[in-house]
Amino acid sequence: MENCITKEWVMEFLAEEGFRPDLDEDEDVFFKFERKTFWCFFDENDPEYMSMSYFVGYEIPFSLTSDDINSALIELMLTMKMTKARLLELDDEQVRIKLAVEVFTDRKHFERYFERFISVLLHSSEKMAELLEEKQEVEKDKCH
């Protein structure tokens, strides 16, 4: 168990790496990187499991349905290694999505792959923006 990642250990690791980790009202770890906020979630019943998440919103000038969004999410997950994506909220102007990297890990591997987790989430965010833009172009063409 001493090699398992814990909330406390992750907070120490982040602080040592120069981040300013904190706990939200649910006691989940969050930190900022390049003015973006990331969260780390843990499962007390599975000490090897960890999820690093990034919540992102996209403006959608052309109305997209939840089916359009879910289609883009599936395409994203098929394209990006390790990424899970979930629709959180959709209205006429914006869509909110949770992007996550979920892994079984220990301290050594977390330290080794930490930067890659962030990179995967940022790249997934960019890819999702491209996919939504493609869906919007299709909708825009239908209107003309």
Cα angle: 43, vertex 96, 119; to 5 degrees: 65
Q: What is the pLDDT averaged over residues 32-44?
A: 94
**18 conformational bin, left if phi > 0, alpha if psi -120 to 50, beta if neither:** left
Contact call for residues 97 and 55 (beta carbons, < 8 A): yes
Give how far Cα 13 sits from Cα of 43, 78, 83, Å: 18, 31, 23
For 85-132, write each residue's pLDDT tens digit. 999 988 877 889 999 999 999 999 999 999 999 999 999 999 999 999
pLDDT score recorded for residue 90: 84
Q: Mind listing the domains of the chain with CATH numbers?
A: 7-143 (3.30.1460.10)
pLDDT at residue 56 greater than cutoff 80: yes
Q: How far apart are CA 45 and CA 82, in angstroms?
A: 22
pLDDT at residue 2 greater than cutoff 70: yes
pLDDT score recorded for residue 143: 61
Q: How far apart are CA 144 and CA 34, in angstroms?
A: 39
